[in-house]
Structure 1
Amino acid sequence: MHNTHPLRRSLLATALAAALLAAPAAQAGVTDADIVNDAKTNGDVVSFGLGTQGQRFSPMTQINTKTVKNLVPAWSMSFGGEKQRGQESQPVIHNGKMFVTASYSRLFAIDAKSGKKLWKYEHRLPDGIMPCCDVINRGAALYGDLVIFGTLDAQLVALNQNTGKVVWKEKVGDYAAGYSLTAAPIIAKGKLITGVSGGEFGIVGRVDARDPLTGKLVWTRPTVEGHMGYIVQNGEKVENGISGTTNATWPGDLWQTGGAATWNGATYDPETNLIFAGTGNPAPWNSHLRPGDNLFSSSTVAIDADSGKIVWHYQNTPHDGWDFDGVNEFVSFDYKDPQTGKLIKAGGKADRNGFFFVNDRTNGKLLGAYPFLKKITWATGYDMSTGRPIYTPDGRPGNPADEGDGKKGKVVFSAPSFLGGKNQQQMAYSPQTGLFYIPANEWAMDIWNEPVAYKKGAAYLGAGFTIKPLNDDHIGVLRALDPASGKIVWENKNYAPLWGGVLTTAGGLVFYGTPEGYLKGVDAKTGKELWSFQTGTGIVAPPVTWEQDGEQMIAVVTGWGGAVPLWGGDVAKRVNYLEQGGSVWVFKLHKS
C-alpha cells in the first residue's frame, strides 16, 4: 500500500469537507420519503394526487368553512401565446417553486410566492402528432432536482428544476402509430411510472417503470393479454412473462392492436407495494369483431412495483362495446365493514361506465358496485358472486354483419355516453368525512357499429355516435358518495359538464371548477356553496393546496378545452360560447 502525500491528504480532506457542507443542499431535492409523506406534509405538493394514493385530501385547516369567504386572489400567471386549448394540469410545488405543464407539451417554472415566471420549456413537436382528445397534459413528477413530464410525441423529458435545462429524454413510443403521453407520471419506490395514450389508434397499452434519474427502463408490463413483459437486468431486456394467456379472451389476432391504453396514469399504495393502473377501451370499438372479455381492457390492474408483474386485476366492463375506458383513478382508502366492524384495505374507482367500485386493494375482490348516475342503460347492476355486470338485453350496439348492406349496425340509445359518468377529472376522498367527491356527468348517446380494419396511424373505431344531454338544467353533478353503502349523501348540479378535478381538506371543504369558469368552495358535509370566484375561462384541471410562509394557498390551472368541445355532439353546443385561456390562479385568505 502506498502512503498518501501530505499535500494530497490535505486536498482530499478539503474535498471531503466541501462534500459534507454540500450534503444538506443535495437533500433539498425531492426524496422517496417526501413523496410517500406528501399527503401529510403542508409545505409542498410533490406528487400527482397530493400523495401517490390519489386521495387529494389536505390536512390543512387555515382555510375552512368559516374563513373561506375571505379567500382572494394572490396572483395569476398567463401561459401566453396562441397555444391555449385545454389546460388539465395539476401543479406540483417544491422549495418555493411551482411546476406546471400546459397545452402543446410546455412546462413552466414559477415563483410560488410571487407568480413570477422563472423559466419555460417548449417541446418541439413534429408534424403529424395524433392526440385523441385535445393537446393537453396533466402534470409533471418531481424527483431529486428533476421535473419530469410526457409529451404529445410520446417522449419523456427530464429538466433541472432550477435552470430548465434538459437532463435526459427518452422515446416511449412511435407517435406515427398513434402513441402519445398525456398523464402525469408518478414516482413509486424510486421508480418513474408512466402509461401510454393512443387507444383510438390501436396502440398496445402498457405501464413502464424507469430510473427517474436517467430515464432508462427498469420493467414494462403490457395491459393487453398476449403481449410479453420485460425486466431489465444487467442492461439486457429479460422476458418477464406474457400478460394473461394468449387468445384466452381475445380469439383471433386483434389482441395485437388491442388498445387498453393507460392514458390517465396510475396511483401507488406503499402499504401493499402495488401500482394501480386503469386501462382503456379495447380496440376497435366494434365489439362484434373481438369476441370474449378482452383482458386487460377497461380494467384495474394491480402491478408489483418491484417486478412489474400483474398481482391482480378486476375488469369493470368485460367485452366493452361502448368505449367505457376503465382508466379512472383507483384511490386507496381504509374503512370499517358496516356489518363486522373489521378494517378493510380498499380502493375506490368511479368508472366511466357509471358505477362506483370498491375493491379489496390487496387481492382485487369486489366489495361493492354502486351506480353514481341516475341513468345507466347498458347494465342493471353487478353480480357480487361473480363480479360481472348484469347486461341489459339489447343494450349493446348491433353487428353491421347482421344488416342487409353490412355498413351500419343497429343503433342503440345508451347512457352514460362514451365520455363517461366520470372521465379524466379526478375525484377526492376525505378520511375526515369518509366520503368520495365525484365530478360526474349525466348524458347519453346514440351509438352504432361500423366495419373497420387496422391501419397504422389511422383512427381505429368502427363506430359512430351522437352525444345527447339528458336534462335541460344540468349535465355535470358533483356527488358525495359513501363507499361503505353506495349512498349519495349530497349533490350539486351544474349546467355544463364537469371536466375538472376535486380537492378536499380537513377544513371541511371541497374545491372544484366548472367550465363556466368558477372555482367553488363547498361544505364537505352538506355541499352548501360557501365561496366562488370567476376566473374568466373554463376550468378542466384539479385544484391543489399548500402552505407558503405560514399561509394556506389554493391553486388551480384554468383554460377551457379537452374532449368535450371536440367530441361532445349536441352537448358541445352548451359550451361553445366559452373562451379558451391558459393561466394559473393562486388564492389565499385576505388579511384585514
Structure 2
Amino acid sequence: MKRFPTIAALGALATVLTSSVIAQAPAGPTDADLMASATNTSAVLTYGMGPKAQRFSPIEQINTSNVTKLVPAFSSSLGGEKQRGQEAQPIVYDGTIYVTGSYSRLFAFDAKTGEEKWEYNARLPDGIMPCCDVVNRGAAIYGDKIIFATLDAHMVALNRNTGKVIWNKTLQDYAAGYSNTAAPMIVKGKVIYGNSGGEFGIIGKVEARDVNTGELIWSRPTIEGNMGQLNGKDSTITGKTNASWPGDQYKTGGGAPWLGGTYDPDTNLVFFGTGNPAPWNSHLRPGDNLYTSSTLAIDADTGEIKWHYQYTPHDGWDFDGVNEFIPFDAKVGGKTMKLGAQANRNGFFFVLDRTNGKFVQATPFVNKITWASGYTKAGRPIFIDANRPGAPTTDKGSTVFSAPAFLGAKNWMPMAYSQQTGYFYVPANEWGMDIWNEPITYKKGAAYLGAGFTIKPLNEDYIGALRAIDPATGKIMWEYKNKAPLWGGVLTTAGGLVFTGTPEGYLKAFDAKTGKELWKFNTGSGVVGSPVTWEQDGEQYIAVMSGWGGAVPLWGGEVAKAVQHINQGGSLWVFKLPKS
C-alpha cells in the first residue's frame, strides 16, 4: 500500500526547500567583495571605487582612440522639486544603479534601461541646519542592504531590492547643528562614518556601527579632551584634555569629519580628515586646537587614533582638512614606501608615510598662497603672521586678503590616482577672500563663526583648474582651466582617460598623459557629482550625476554672482560606445 505524504509533511518539505534556495542565493556584496572592489570591473561597490578610493578603473574598452564616439545610453530623472546639489557617486551592483539625491533621498534604477525600481525619501524635520546645501554624496552596499546618512543625522539601512527600511538609527542631535552628508564606508562588517556641522560648534566624531543591526560599536571624538566609546563603555580620551584647547572650548570645538574616509587593508587603518576648529575666530582659542584640520589614522577595530598629521595648526581661515587621504605605494630614494596623499584646502599637496603619519613633502598646487610660505622639514607650516585676520575688540578686527579662499584650493570633490601614469588628478580652484574676525559666543544650534568674508576670483579667464600632479616631485604635469569653479569628482581609467564634470553642465574626458580634452557632453545642469565606470554585457559604461548646487552658490560671494545663471537639476546620466 502506497503511503502519500501528509499536508503537514509537504509543508515542512516546502519550508526546507525554500530555506535551501534562500541559503544558496547570493545575499549581496561581502566584506571580501568590498576589499577587492578596486579590481571588480562588473560593479561599483564602494565610494571611491575601492577601499583606498583611488578612483582608478582597470577597464580600457573606452580609451583615447574611441572616446570621441561616446553617447548617452539613458538619463534618469530624480524628479520632483528637490533639484539642487547632486553631489553623489553611484553604486552599481547586480543590474541596479543606486544613487542618493539632495534632501536625503535614495533611488534604485535599472542599469540597462534607466527605469526607476524604487525610491526612498527621508522624512526630514523643519529644523535641520545643513551648512553647505542639502547634499548627499552617496551610499554603501553590503549583503541585502544599501545604507546612507541623512541631513537630520540618521543612518538608514534599506533592503537593496525593495527599498524597505531594515534599520534606522539616530546618530546625533540635529537641533544642535549636527547633520550627515558623506557616503559611509564598510570595513569588516562595520559601517564607519563621520558627522557634519562644524560651523555650529558641534564635536566631530568618527563612529562605527554593526552593519546588520545599526548598533554602535565604537565612537572616536576628533576634538582633544572628549571621551571615546567602545562596545557601550567609555574607552579613552582623545588626546589630552586642555593640551591644545583652553578651558571648556574643547566641548564646542568643531572638527567635523564630514567627508568620510578611506581604508588601508595593509595597516587596518581608516583615514578620516577633520574640519575646521570652532569658532573661525582663531584669537578666541589659542593653541594648535588638535585634532582639527588634520588626517587621523584610526584602528578600524577599536576606534583608537594611531597617528595624526595636522595640516593647518590653529586654523584661522576655515581650511578644513577633510579632503580624502588616498593610500598609494611609490619609490622614495629607491625604496618602495607605503604613502598617502592629500590635496588640502590650504593650497598644498601633501605626501605622508601612511604607516606612521610622518611628513614627506608639501608642495603648492595653486598659484597664490598667502597664509604660509611653505613647510619645515618637520612638517610644520611657516605662517605669514600678517595674513591672519586681526583680533576683534567690540567690533570686527582688521580685514586681510587671503588666498586660497575658505572654499579651498580643493574642496570636497575627490581627486583620482592613476596606476598607469602615477599622477594624481586634482580638481583645483583659484580664488581668494577678504576675511575678518568678529566677536562671538557659543549658542546651541546657532552658527558659530566669529568671522565675515567675501570670496573673489583671482583671474579673469578661469577659476577652476584640473591639474595632474606627480606625487614624487609635486610638479604639475598638465592643467585644464575652466571658467567656473570645479566642484565635481574625478575618475581615471586604464584607457588612458580622466573624466570630470563642470558647473557649465559638461562631463569631459581628457588624455591622462597630456591633458588634451578629447570629448564632452552637456547634461543640462552643472555636474558636481563623481563619475564611475563598470562593464555590463560586454560593454563599458560611464555614469555621473547632474544637478548644480553645493556650497558655491550659497557662500561664493562675487564668484556666486558669476555663476548664478546655471540651472539646477537632478538626473543620472549613463554613457557608452555605440554598437558597431
Match of 2:371 among 360, 374, 378: 378
Tell me the residue number matched to 1:490: 478
CA distance in structure 2 between the aligned counterparts of 1:261 and 1:12, rounded to whole angstroms: 54
Structure 2 counterpart of 1:94, one-letter code: Y
Match of 1:255 in 2: 250
* Preserved CA contact (<8 Å) 2:109 2:117: yes
Per the alignment, in what secondary structure is the counterpart of residue 240 of structure 1? strand
Cα distance in 1 for partners of 2:478, 2:247 equals 47
TM-score, length basis structure 1: 0.95
Equivalent position of 2:3 in the other structure? none
CA offsets 1:88-137 (integer angstroms, 9 cap, x no match): 00010111111100011111010011100000011111011100000000
Counterpart in 1 of 2:204? 205
Name the structure 2 match of 1:46: 45
User: Partners of 1:366 and 1:24 in 2: how far apart?
Assistant: 49
The corresponding residue for 1:244 is 239
Name the amino acid aligned to 1:304.
D
Q: How far did residue 23 of structure 1 move?
A: 2.7
- Distance in structure 2 (CA, Å) of the matches to 1:393 and 1:148: 45
Q: Which runs of 5+ in 1 are unaligned?
A: 1-5
Deviation at 1:443, TM superposition (A): 0.2
1:352 is aligned to 2:345:
yes
- Is 2:405 the counterpart of 1:412? no
Residue 143 of structure 2: aligned partner: 144
Give the secondary-structure state (helix, strand or coil) at the position aligned to 2:385: coil
Partner of 2:436: 448
Which residue of 2 is the match for residue 461 of structure 1?
A: 449
Q: How does 1:294-309 map to 2 (within 5 A)?
A: 294-309=289-304
SS at match of 1:453: coil
1:427 is aligned to: 415
Counterpart of 1:278 (choices 245, 265, 273) is 273
Counterpart-to-counterpart distance in 2, 1:131 and 1:554: 30
Q: Distance in 2 between matches of 1:189 and 1:482?
A: 33
Cα deviation for residue 251 of structure 1 reads 1.4
Q: Which residue of 1 aligns with 2:577?
A: 589
TM-score for the superposition, normalised by structure 2: 0.97
What SS class does the counterpart of residue 394 from structure 1 fall into?
helix
Aligned-partner residue type, residue 21 of structure 2: L
CA distance in 1, matches of 2:223, 2:362: 24
1:398 paired residue number: 390
Mapped to 2, the partners of 1:64 and 1:421 lie a distance apart of 30
Match of 2:511 among 523, 528, 533: 523
**Which residue pairs with 1:182 in the alignment?**
181
For residue 240 of structure 1, report the CA deviation from its aligned partner. Answer: 1.3
C-alpha contact (below 8 Å) 2:437/2:450 kept by paired residues: yes
Structure 1: which amino acid aligns with 2:421?
T
CA distance in 2, matches of 1:190, 1:304: 14
Q: Do structure 1's residue 320 and structure 2's residue 311 form an aligned pair?
A: no
8 Å contact 2:199–2:449 — kept in the other structure?
Answer: yes
2:27 and 2:535 mapped to 1: Cα distance?
17
Q: Distance in 2 between matches of 1:30 and 1:513?
A: 29
Tell me the equivalent position of 1:268.
263
Post-superposition shift, 1:170?
A: 0.2
Find the residue that maps to 1:23 and give its secondary structure.
Answer: helix
Q: 1:18 to 1:357 in 2, by over 3 A?
A: same
How far off its partner does 1:21 sit? 3.4
Q: Cα gap change, 1:7/1:84 in structure 2, threshold over 3 Å: closer, same or farther?
A: closer
CA-CA distance at 1:224 after TM superposition: 0.3
Identity of aligned residues (%): 67
Q: Is the 8 A contact 2:361 2:379 kept in 1?
A: no
> What SS is found at the alignment partner of 2:408?
coil
- Residue 69 of structure 1: aligned partner: 68
Question: Which residue identity lines up with residue 281 of structure 2 in the other structure?
Answer: N
The equivalent residue for 1:169 is 168
The aligned runs of 1:80-159 (5 Å cut-off) are: 80-159=79-158
CA distance in structure 1 between the aligned counterparts of 2:189 and 2:340, rounded to whole angstroms: 22
Q: Deviations over 1:257-304 (max 9, x none)?
A: 000001111111111100000000000000000000000000000000
Where 2:46 maps in the other structure, the secondary structure is coil
Q: Determine the C-alpha separation between the residues in 2 that align with 1:48 and 1:562.
A: 19
Letter in 1 for 2:24: P
1:245 Cα deviation after fit: 0.2
| Counterpart pick for 1:389 among 370, 381, 388 | 381
- Aligned partner of residue 215 in structure 1, secondary structure: coil
Q: Residue 190 of structure 2 aligns with which residue?
A: 191
Q: Hey, what's the Cα distance between the residues in 2 that align with 1:267 and 1:12?
A: 47
Aligned partners of 1:247 and 1:507: how far apart in 2? 52
SS at match of 2:387: coil
Amino acid at match of 1:310: I
Deviation of the 1:341 alpha carbon? 1.2
Give the residue type in structure 1 aligned to 2:383.
Y
Question: Structure 2: 5+ residue runs without aligned partners?
Answer: 1-5
**Following the alignment from structure 2 to structure 1, what is the Cα–Cα distance between the partners of residues 380 and 289?**
14
Counterpart of 1:278 in structure 2: which amino acid?
G
1: CA distance between counterparts of 2:548 and 2:224? 37
Q: Tell me the equivalent position of 1:3.
A: none
Residue deviations 1:416-445 (CA, integer Å, cap 9, x gap)? 000000001110001110000000000000
Structure-2 residue corresponding to 1:290: 285
State the AA in 2 paired with 1:361.
R
Distance 1:188 1:484 in 2: 30
Query: Residue type of the partner of 1:393?
Result: D
Give distance in 2, aligned partners of 1:8 and 1:483: 69
Q: Secondary structure at the match of 2:386?
A: coil
What residue number does 1:537 align with?
Answer: 525
